[in-house]
């Protein structure tokens, strides 16, 4: 007779857990469903018989004392039905029983799903920030059952089919005979409990669809594409599960007056030719109220005046961008005879000579002065 300890490859003073681990390792290797070698089946029987004896404390004590099994049947048929050997060990070895620890059924509660909505704001709201009310279609905790999924006055009940384990067993033929395998219970869907009286309002889900009004704080400096996370403001979870998050994506409307470039604002201001020539003061309506602009005499079209700290607030830093005013000098159109005469007089005073509507190219006009300057070099 072979030595059971040698068959399992363990020492005589090995613990029961060490013997179990050795058996599982060899059983996986030698099982006929896995190993089709000529001697695999016989070796598997020896390993199984050795484990049957050494896994039972009483049989092991007799075996260690006498060197035999005290006259017990060494045939394999009786051994498999004996009290000292559990089919659970083989089942755990090949079907992931987790070392004798029974897997708990999953919980019915599930976290809600995150949601994303778009919110449009005006440019002024992006400059200073704002509080904005929004309406959200989402899932709320059922007010009737308060997320329990059960009709008021009733509770969940342990499944009669699986006994609360969430698993049902079925027999599968193998070389060892019938081996029990597990599958999710079809009655309770693997949860281990059933809802005998589902809530009439939520149909046993623990939540209902509803429209909710929220007031969100939009920080100053946001731009199109900025996302704001509202933790715990998303849809309610199933069966009282945790509430999800709500994400708000900002869309900034185009402004009819101001153009945004980063944190700077740009605006075009048209001034009359006479005002640009003589100089003046102009009032400009901005997001911060009226601002006075000094137009210096001789201002040219295209010049830019910068008003510091009147742009968009920096989102993550202190301070603000600038407001840049682009000046556009307007040339008079459709002048009347009197205005035309005055303009000609002005041209004469400025020694700008016109002949038949054309600027003179000789004499003492502007081109003559230009030639004189070039000639003096």
Tell whether residue 159 is among the known ligand binding residues.
yes
CA distances to 140, 219, 241 from 233, in Å: 10, 18, 13
**Rg for the chain (alpha carbons), in Å?**
45
DSSP per position, 78-89: HHHHSTT--HHH
How far is it, in rounded angstroms, from Cα 196 to Cα 194? 6
Distance in Å from the first CA to the final CA of the chain:
125
Q: Is there a binding annotation on residue 149? A: no
Does the annotation list 150 as a binding residue? Answer: no
Rounded-to-10 torsion of CA 353, 356, 359, 363:
-50
Q: Is 162:188 a contact under the CB 8 Å cutoff?
A: yes
Q: How many other CB atoms are found less than 10 A from the CB of residue 160? A: 10
Instruction: Report the distance separating Cα 68 and Cα 3, nearest Å.
Output: 9
Residue 162 is labelled as binding a ligand: yes
Six-digit token string for 244: 């999800």
Rounded distance between C-alpha atoms, residue 194 and residue 186, angstroms: 11
Strand 246-252 versus strand 115-121 pairing type: parallel
Q: Is 199 annotated as a binding residue?
A: yes
Binding residues: 142, 145, 159, 162, 185, 188, 199, 202
Binding residues for Zn(2+): 142, 145, 159, 162, 185, 188, 199, 202
């Amino acid at each position: 007779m072979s030595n059971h300890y040698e068959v399992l490859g363990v020492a005589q003073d090995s613990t029961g857990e060490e013997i179990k681990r050795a058996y599982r390792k060899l059983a996986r290797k030698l099982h006929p469903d896995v190993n089709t070698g000529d001697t695999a089946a016989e070796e598997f029987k020896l390993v199984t018989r050795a484990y049957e004896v050494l896994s039972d404390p009483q049989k092991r004590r007799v075996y260690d004392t006498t060197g035999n099994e005290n006259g017990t049947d060494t045939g394999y048929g009786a051994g498999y039905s004996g009290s000292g050997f559990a089919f659970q060990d083989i089942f755990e070895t090949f079907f992931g029983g987790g070392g004798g620890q029974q897997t708990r059924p999953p919980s019915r509660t599930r976290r809600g799903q995150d949601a994303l909505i778009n919110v449009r704001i005006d440019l002024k709201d992006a400059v200073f920030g704002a509080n904005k009310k929004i309406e959200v279609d989402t899932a709320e905790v059922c007010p009737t059952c308060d997320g329990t999924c059960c009709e008021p006055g009733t509770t969940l009940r342990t499944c009669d089919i699986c006994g609360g384990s969430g698993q049902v067993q079925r027999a599968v033929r193998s070389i060892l005979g019938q081996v029990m395998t597990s599958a999710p219970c079809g009655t309770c869907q693997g949860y281990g409990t059933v809802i005998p009286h589902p809530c009439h309002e939520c149909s046993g889900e623990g939540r209902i669809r509803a429209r909710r009004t929220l007031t969100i704080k939009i920080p100053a400096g946001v731009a199109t594409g900025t996302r704001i996370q509202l933790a715990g403001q998303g849809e309610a979870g199933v069966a009282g599960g945790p509430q999800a998050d709500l994400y708000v994506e900002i869309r900034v409307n185009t402004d009819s007056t101001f153009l945004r470039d980063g944190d700077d604002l740009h605006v075009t201001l048209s001034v009359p030719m006479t005002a640009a020539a003589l100089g003046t003061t102009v009032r400009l309506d901005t997001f911060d109220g009226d601002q006075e602009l000094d137009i210096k005499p001789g201002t040219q079209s295209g010049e830019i005046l910068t008003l510091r700290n009147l742009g968009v607030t920096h989102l993550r830093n202190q301070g603000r961008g600038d407001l840049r005013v682009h000046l556009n000098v307007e040339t008079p159109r459709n002048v009347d005879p009197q205005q035309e005469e005055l303009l000609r007089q002005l041209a004469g005073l400025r020694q700008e000579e016109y002949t038949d509507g054309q600027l003179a190219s000789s004499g003492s006009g502007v081109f003559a002065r230009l030639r004189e300057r070039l000639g003096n070099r």
